[in-house]
């Protein structure tokens, strides 16, 4: 099936419409199980996926006719990229599609943390009117440190541009990226000057557990922490300890080391996490809006069109 694409996750129909206009046949099977996908993947030239399974060597070897894989999102950590490329498979992702969603979500989390929105709301609903306990912080004049200045980090910096903040950014894999929204900085500057730390990094061997107890000890000021990237980049127990010690003033966590129930509830740190009034939790939805749902598919279709023209 030279021009057939297997779609194993829910995506916006704009992708199938545009792919079929290019001459592809789309087999849309969002309810397929990983085992079923493994059995039939060999008959397809393309695969579209989100997070249903890890595209490891077993799947790649089974997909003997695969020419491309589209990841409906930004992160590629559930794909064995090196092996796929070695097998001649082109990898397509769509960070442009949900960058605005992630940037807005991060700003929303930060404002909520700094102004005690969640706690104040719960208190008023329960009959308590306590202004002093809910006194907030202003963003203006603060230094926001961003780690990872790709589409997501840049989007967050751009959203902050009207708040009168100083934005500095560190990216191990890029240089010369200073722009009107952020100044390129060293990690030493990040830990020395940041009032806010926001992570926008992929999950790699280097970023796994990046934010741990030792790392947090280097910060010179108490910080607000935002993580909308990957949960395994942050050691939750280290964040909770830093909150107890006053080194983290509040944490907005859209992603966690372990996600979904019942596995999440079994983590030894979860009870303390859910009880903390200095933590805001969301279920990995920073990049998942009604608008990004469509934009991700549009980006993938656009990249597939370029690939098809080059082939």
**Which residues are catalytically annotated?**
230, 259, 284
Burial class (CB in 10 A: 0-12, 13-18, 19+), 219: buried
Q: How far apart are alpha carbons 59 and 92 in whole angstroms?
A: 17
Three-state secondary-structure class, residue 47: strand
Cα distances from 131 to residues 126, 155, 157, in angstroms, run: 14, 33, 31
Three-state secondary-structure class, residue 249: strand
84 and 60 in contact (C-beta within 8 Å)? yes
* Torsion sign (Cα): 123, 262, 79, 91: negative
Residue 136: other Cβ atoms inside 10 A: 13
H/E stretch holding 35 reads helix 34-40
**Three-state DSSP string of 166-191:** EEEEECCCCCCCCCCCCEECCHHHHH
Token pair for 110: 């930060």
Cα distances from 285 to residues 25, 131, 213, in angstroms, run: 30, 31, 26
* Torsion sign (Cα): 233, 240, 261, 117: negative
Question: Dihedrals φ, ψ of 33, to 5°?
Answer: -85, 160
DSSP secondary structure string for all residues of 257-291: SS-STTTGGGSTTHHHHHH-TTEEE--S-TT--HH
Token pair for 48: 């579209």
């Amino acid at each position: 099936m030279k021009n057939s694409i297997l779609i194993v996750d829910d995506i916006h129909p704009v992708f199938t419409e545009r792919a079929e206009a290019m001459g592809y046949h789309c087999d849309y099977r969002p309810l397929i199980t990983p085992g079923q996908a493994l059995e039939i993947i060999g008959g397809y030239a393309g695969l579209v996926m989100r997070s249903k399974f890890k595209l490891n060597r077993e799947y790649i070897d089974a997909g003997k006719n695969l020419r491309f894989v589209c990841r409906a999102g930004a992160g590629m950590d559930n794909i064995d990229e090196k092996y796929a490329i070695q097998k001649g498979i082109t990898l397509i992702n769509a960070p442009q599609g949900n960058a605005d969603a992630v940037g807005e979500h991060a700003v929303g989390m930060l404002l909520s943390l700094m102004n005690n929105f969640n706690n104040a709301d719960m208190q008023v609903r329960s009959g308590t009117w306590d202004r002093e306990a809910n006194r907030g912080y202003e963003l203006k004049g603060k230094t926001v440190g961003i780690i990872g200045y790709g589409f997501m980090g840049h989007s967050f910096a751009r959203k902050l541009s009207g708040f009168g903040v100083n934005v500095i950014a560190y990216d191990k894999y890029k240089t010369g990226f200073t722009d009107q929204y952020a100044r390129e900085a060293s990690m030493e500057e990040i830990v020395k000057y940041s009032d806010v730390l926001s992570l926008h990094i992929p999950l790699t061997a280097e970023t796994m557990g990046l934010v741990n107890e030792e790392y947090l000890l280097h910060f010179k000021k108490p910080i607000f922490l935002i993580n909308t990237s990957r949960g395994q980049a942050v050691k939750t127990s280290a964040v909770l300890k830093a909150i107890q010690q006053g080194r983290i003033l509040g944490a907005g966590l859209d992603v966690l080391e372990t996600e979904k129930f019942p596995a999440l509830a079994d983590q030894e740190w979860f009870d303390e996490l859910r009880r903390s009034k200095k933590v805001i939790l969301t279920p990995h939805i920073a990049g998942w809006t009604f608008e990004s749902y469509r934009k991700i598919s549009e980006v993938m279709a656009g990249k597939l069109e370029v690939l098809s023209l080059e082939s």
